[in-house]
A and B are shown apart, each in its own frame.
Chain A
Amino acid sequence: GAVVSQHPSRVICKSGTSVKIECRSLDFQATTMFWYRQFPKKSLMLMATSNEGSKATYEQGVEKDKFLINHASLTLSTLTVTSAHPEDSSFYICSARDLDRGDSNEQFFGPGTRLTVL
């Protein structure tokens, strides 16, 4: 099946530093990847849609200068949380759509990254 990995799985950083999270599709190509944020006991909130070779599309209320997204290849998208603050602490999850499954709209999820900003 389609596998998506995320790295790191857990990160703790000091306030003011930047953190990069990688999302990789391991056995398929993904023209579109999605970045979600999830607060405890809440549903997933779509942050942005990342398209390979073009600028990401951010959802309303998400600061694009704070959450930098790069989708440089068909198997890798990165999310960089710049100048992180404690309120950025959250569970970040990426997902990808399989290019070859043209008739399927299924998104395959990475295992998530737990970010804690001190």
Chain B
Amino acid sequence: GQNIDQPTEMTATEGAIVQINCTYQTSGFNGLFWYQQHAGEAPTFLSYNVLDGLEEKGRFSSFLSRSKGYSYLLLKELQMKDSASYLCAFLDSNYQLIWGAGTKLIIKP
């Protein structure tokens, strides 16, 4: 079967670093996405990993280990505007996105 799991909620302090983990199980895999979603808005693309390793993009980095079925999103120098839900999703063998439930990130001053 397929499943994907990420923490429901996390809290971090402005200026700090936070890592949001995502684990998944699937027989077919074509890459993993991270999206940011503010309340009442559609998701916006953050990153796409298809190979193992770390992809860095400004304050955000994403890591993938296909053998472990594991990914994380790393956010540095947190800002208040980073308060949002972060959704991980993988592409299955049919190239359909299988979504996690999202991690609500709360940033405190």
Contacts and interface: CB of A to CB of B under 8 A. Distances in A.
Interface of A: 34, 41-46, 49, 91, 93, 104-112, 114
B93 interface: no
By DSSP majority rule, is chain B's interface helix, strand, loop, or mixed? loop
Interface stretch (B38-46, B55-63, B76-84): B38-46
Contacts of B95: 105
Contacts of B97: 34, 44, 46, 107
Interface of B: 30-31, 33, 35, 40-45, 48, 50, 87, 91, 95-97, 99-102, 104
Contacts, number: 44
B48 A44 contact: no
Contacts of B102: 43
A106 B42 contact: no
A49 B96 CA distance: 9
A46 B33 CA distance: 16
21 contacts: A34-B97, A41-B104, A43-B99, A43-B101, A43-B102, A44-B43, A46-B97, A91-B40, A105-B30, A105-B48, A105-B50, A106-B33, A106-B45, A107-B97, A109-B35, A109-B42, A110-B42, A111-B41, A112-B40, A112-B42, A114-B40
